[in-house]
Structure 1
Amino acid sequence: MAGEPDYPTLLRNAYAMRAASYGHMFDVLRDRFGTETALEIGQESTRRLGESMGVKFASHGPDDLAGLCYAFLDGIPIRDAMFAPEIVCCDDETLEIHFHRCPLKEAWQAQGRSEDDLELLCRMAGAIDGGLFEAAGFVFRGETWKPGDEGCCRLKVLPGPTPAEPAADASA
């Protein structure tokens, strides 16, 4: 009789498959179109994924950074083991989260990717965050991992623009 599924392992395996998929797509695009175009296409694709995910956080936009912080982090399965997030700042002006781990980056490392490739793949995959937070109504100023950095991404989210007041009816 089989025991309970090992969900952390299944989740890690799913991230490893996603990382492999991103890596293969990036390699094919780079071989065909060059590094810059491959990065541009990959970022646009992951950004669109983030935009579709960001809609569920729109109720926090444009300025409920604390609500966004906890809704976002609470939606990450096994977040502490997978991402080890540190809330660096969460006030009315800035939400900053530093991920000390990333299952995508760890999978790319296990696949033997160079540091140069890691940086490019992190930039490509990290575009998801810009799409997510901007679709939710915020301004995103995050940074992805670079050689020499500790951990992984640093998400920095600022309040978004306040919706414009409806124009007064000039005919009244």
Structure 2
Amino acid sequence: MQLNPYGEYAVLLAASLANNWPGDRDEIEQRTRDVGMTMPFPERRNDHGETREVIDDWLRIVDAPTDEQRAELLNRQMARASAYPRMVDHDGEGWHLHYRDDGQSLPQVLRSVIAVGTALHLTTRGMQRLRRCEAEPCTQVVVDVTRNGRQRYCSVRCANRAAVRRHRNRQL
């Protein structure tokens, strides 16, 4: 039984948007399709800019210095996006939950999905499972979905760069 349909993919989508901001609305919508979101989004003139605001708000959660501040920011985001969860069956996906009202814009849907997904990710995997890459000067978001919960770098490249830096510092 799967109770968490939004956790991992929603947080990975948010990180993808934060780490590599799309040039236009169509690219944002394509990213949603890439992670399996199938519902249509009514197109609005400000979708690109408003989605950037959603991601900037989410980055404040990523960068919160304490678990308590992270939870407070995330609770505000969920309150802002709140709707009664709904059971839906569309696009051949089978029955599942939506945590948003019908007919919402792309930014509104992303705010709901990303906020709930982030909350599910952090509460089921651990509050430390969302951070910035530890390899300086990288600032990419790291969504830790590893089994052991010890992912510190956004990529193998950054992990290798950090290892080389540690090795050189030991040689001094």
TM above 0.5, one fold? no
Rg larger in structure: 1
Work out which structure has the larger RCO, using CA pairs closer than 8 Å and 6 or more positions apart in sequence. Answer: 1
TM-score, scaled relative to structure 1: 0.29
* Structure with more of its chain in helix, by fraction: 1
